[in-house]
Amino acid sequence: MIILCSLFFLWSCEDELPQNKKTDNELLLKNTSSKVTLPCSTPSIYSGMLEFTDEKQFYCYYDYLTEVASTPNDDMSENDFLLEVEQVMGLNSLRADAFAKFEQKNAIGWASYQEIPEEHWITSNILRSILNVNREVKVGNYVLKYINPEFIVSVKADHSEVMKKVDALGDHPTLEQILELDPLREIISVSSPKILKREFGTVDFADAKGIRGTPIPLQIFRLSGTVYENFICGNPGKVKFEGFTLSRLSVPQQARYRIEFNDGTNAAAEFMLLPNQYILPAIEHVYPATNTTYHPTIKVKSISPYSNASAWNVVQTYNVYVRSMDQSCSSDARGALKDLVINSSNVLRGKVDYYNWSAFPFINPRSSLAGWTELHHIDSNGNWNRRKDKKTTLCVKFLEGKLYQANFSTPINSSFCTDPIYLPVEYECRSNTNQKRMEKHMGMYNTNTYAKAMLSFLTVQHEVGTSDGVNGSFKQTIYGCP
């Protein structure tokens, strides 16, 4: 009888596990006013941040929040929806913190509408709803921290003392300062949301991802670092050599570096690290030709008794493709702030960006559209504020646009801009809001997992209309790949 009861208890537990998972999701949905369903398990809480088992669960939850926030409702704003979800999860989010601080300043008002800022440099309201107030989230075995627009740092979750050292660097550290905390690249991975493929990973990141700017064992010495095209519109050809470290048997080495650019001119540069310096500072080189793949070589020699003075310890060759684009072209197209002065008291402002966005440096980024439209007005005290009016309707209309497919699994070649995809016209309006946000994931457009959408052009129309007769609209076009 005892054995039968034990077996029955075990069977009941096994049957209850999927039921609990379902109940968790239903509870989350029941506590929010949205009818959107969550197709995956809810994240848990880890040291005050959301914890996801993997990237798949992260993006599932991200897409869920995106859909929840876009649900039309006259009684609840986007922030109201997201706040409900955050409260159910027990998360003190970056979104709530940034929104509260903005609202406090907005209540006072600004001297001019140009002074009214964005709520945070992380422009995605959805991402802000996932990150905690310290801009952190746990995915798999890593805690990710958005330091600034330049760097995202991932630290192994069982090395909290290293994350404390990252925090101690403040909000504006250099790459060398971050990497000096882990010269062997075994705990920290650093990526840049601004520059595709600019990543500095740990050894197990390399095992999981394959091609990365990660340590590669060569005999008893190991060289890590990355070479990437630092493209700037109107100034093609610039390549960066960044974050290089030489180590021997898990000990970082002072080293002598020689970079042979191999650009047909015999150009080269040599550098000697100073005492107690282990990370080579960033080096830039402008290549003479575009639409060309170059093969720079980096030679490194340890300054130690272990090194043979007559031979380089490590010789490694890299491939980097240099593009050719004109001044109006960028793979990371961002529309500037644009204003329409409707009358002496009301200004419609809009912005739209296109970018290859990645929440963390584990997988390929998504091609996304993001931006916002808002109405500024002068309040009864004569101060500029962001208008709050349930009868205010803000609209965003995607008038036309075109994307290209691009394959980054190999160096970019002459087929960089091929297979155009025309974006359908879409129209979205929202009332009861301070601003109308748009966030569209353009996604992948073929079966190659390395293929990403590249923007050719996109035209957006921003519109506003209120019950007291304030209305207006303007168009904004941004350009990407020619």
Q: Which residue has the higher pLDDT, 363 or 187?
A: 187
Residues 13-53 have pLDDT tens digits of 444 444 444 445 555 655 566 667 888 999 999 999 999 99
Mean pLDDT of the region 383-394:
88
How much of the chain exceeds pLDDT 90, in percent? 35
Burial class of 230 by CB neighbour count within 10 A (0 to 12, 13 to 18, 19+): middle
pLDDT over threshold 70, residue 5: no
- Average pLDDT across the chain, whole number: 80
> What's the distance, CA 235 to chain centroid?
24
- pLDDT class for 3, splitting at 50, 70, 90? very low
pLDDT at 166: 95
Residues 82-94 have pLDDT tens digits of 999 999 999 999 9
Number of H helices, E strands in the chain: 8, 29
Q: Return the DSSP state at 22.
A: H
pLDDT at 447: 43
pLDDT at 1: 43
Mean pLDDT of the region 42-71:
89
Spatial distance between the Cα atoms of 319 and 310, rounded to a whole number of angstroms: 27
pLDDT at 52: 94
- pLDDT class for 212, splitting at 50, 70, 90? very low
pLDDT at 412: 40
pLDDT at 114: 92
pLDDT at 159: 93
Burial class of 65 by CB neighbour count within 10 A (0 to 12, 13 to 18, 19+): buried
59: tokens are: 């993006």
Mean pLDDT of the region 400-421:
59
Residues 307-330 have pLDDT tens digits of 777 789 899 999 888 877 554 456
pLDDT at 4: 39
Mean pLDDT is lowest, of 90-94, 293-297, 352-356, 445-449, for 445-449
Type of residue numbered 19 = Q
- pLDDT class for 347, splitting at 50, 70, 90? very high
Going from N- to C-terminal start, the domains of the chain cover 26-191, 216-388, 391-481
pLDDT over threshold 60, residue 448: no
pLDDT over threshold 90, residue 204: no
How much of the chain exceeds pLDDT 70, in percent? 76
Q: Which residue has the higher pLDDT, 139 or 367?
A: 139
Mean pLDDT of the region 46-62:
92
- pLDDT class for 411, splitting at 50, 70, 90? very low
Residues 286-306 have pLDDT tens digits of 998 878 899 999 999 998 776
pLDDT at 415: 43
Please report which helix (H) or strand (E) contains residue 79, including its range. helix 78-89
Burial class of 414 by CB neighbour count within 10 A (0 to 12, 13 to 18, 19+): exposed
- pLDDT class for 361, splitting at 50, 70, 90? low
Q: Measure Cα distances from 376 to 117, 181, 347, 435, 465 in Å.
A: 11, 45, 5, 10, 13
Closest listed residue to residue 268, CA positions, set 305, 232, 246, 241: 241
Spatial distance between the Cα atoms of 374 and 349, rounded to a whole number of angstroms: 5
Residue-wise DSSP of 102-147: HHHHHHH-BSSGGGPPPS-SS--HHHHHHSBTTSEEEETTEEEEE-
Mean pLDDT is lowest, of 163-172, 256-265, 425-434, for 425-434
pLDDT at 357: 64
pLDDT at 53: 92
pLDDT at 296: 96
Residues 136-174 have pLDDT tens digits of 999 988 999 999 988 899 999 999 999 999 999 999 998
pLDDT at 474: 94
Spatial distance between the Cα atoms of 288 and 290, rounded to a whole number of angstroms: 7
pTM of the model: 0.80
Residues 108-133 have pLDDT tens digits of 999 999 999 888 988 888 999 999 99
